[in-house]
Amino acid sequence: MSLVNAGINRCQTGVSEARFNIGDHWILICALCLSAIGLVMVYSSSSMLADKRYLDSMFFLKQQAKHLLVGLTAMLAITFLDYRKMSKLALPLLIILFVALLLVLIPGIGYKAGGASRWLKIAAFSIQPSELAKPVLVIFLARWLSEHQEQAGSFKNFLFCLGVIGALSLPILLEPDLGMTITLFLITVIMMFVAGCRIRHLLGMVLAALPVLYLLVFRVNYRLDRITSFLSPWDDPANSGFQIIHSFLAFGSGGVSGAGLGHSVQKLFYLPEPHTDFILSVVGEELGLLGVFLILSLFLIIVWRGVRIAMEAGDLLGAYIAVGAVLIIAIQAFINAAVVMGMLPTKGLTLPFVSYGGSSLLTNFICVGLLLSVAGHRRQR
């Protein structure tokens, strides 16, 4: 009887199964910690602004709590859904996303703010389709690259991926949102590189994009102002250099341990929208170098665990999804931190999980859900 049981056990361990378990608690814990820090810092950085604008100092905190609930719900749904089944919806999701990106550009349908039309109003919520373009693009590319792995280095495969990113980028550029376009471009290039696309094809793509980037940056006045203020913010401290100078002042005032929670001076109408793009500056002023180090360390852990999930995935599809999901979080966190510290020109990208914003928070938790789905549903041998 024992021999029969041993034989059955060997058969069971030799067959690939799709058992679910939350395969990586570290990513979940780090995402929740960042979100908790985000709730505290959103309230701290926005209470005065919310009181002046909405006569409710907790307005942004309440909204962020709602966004967090939606994001956690989406994360749980994706976590327990097998990523292989999810990938079958890649093409329909891409088509729906493309239609949504076009609807944003139609006056009366798209919601405009700050000179850009990027949002759609759905009931009491507003959603930014270009944010959701990141996980949808990752799922689509992961499915395509895994199914055409043998042709990964072919020029035909390269042109197809180039066509996909080009079709998504055009309406996003018309919003306009150059930063999101560059982010999608970076995700595509790195995923294609990981999949085995030829280096000369990728270099050709980058070189072909340079003249377009030149026209979009150096021939558009407000973007050129961002470059000049980045290079020398003190030349125009009251206008183009205003944001980054006050970001420097925030970090300098915070020192190592910070001025204390709620004691930021720069959030008092010096830093425009301190609860979104420049929330890390407020963290630096109130919690000091230690607070900034804690946040960046949590992001590094997410990236480390995400790369490990990709390397241990049971198939190419899971590996590519994990690579794309961790890229979304890592690229955005790096760009935001680099901007507020004066290492990159000012660009409106939020800090994942921490900054105020519903679409951004939803996208980040979708990425966490994708990572947990790959980790939990990988085929056990």
Which one is predicted more confidently, 20 or 356?
356
Confidence of residue 329 (pLDDT cuts 50, 70, 90): very high
The pLDDT tens digits of the residues spanning 174-204 come to 888 888 999 999 999 999 999 988 899 889 8
Instruction: Say if residue 7's pLDDT is above 50.
Output: no
Q: Lowest mean pLDDT: which of 17-31, 107-121, 226-240?
A: 17-31
Instruction: Say if residue 102's pLDDT is above 70.
Output: yes
Instruction: Say if residue 265's pLDDT is above 70.
Output: yes
pLDDT of residue 17: 42
* 259: exposed, middle or buried (Cβ count in 10 Å: 0-12, 13-18, 19+): middle
Which one is predicted more confidently, 224 or 100?
100
The pLDDT tens digits of the residues spanning 243-262 come to 889 999 999 999 999 899 98
Beta bridge partners of 17: 380
Confidence of residue 2 (pLDDT cuts 50, 70, 90): very low
CA angle 91, 93, 95 (to 5 degrees): 70
Q: Average pLDDT of the chain? A: 87
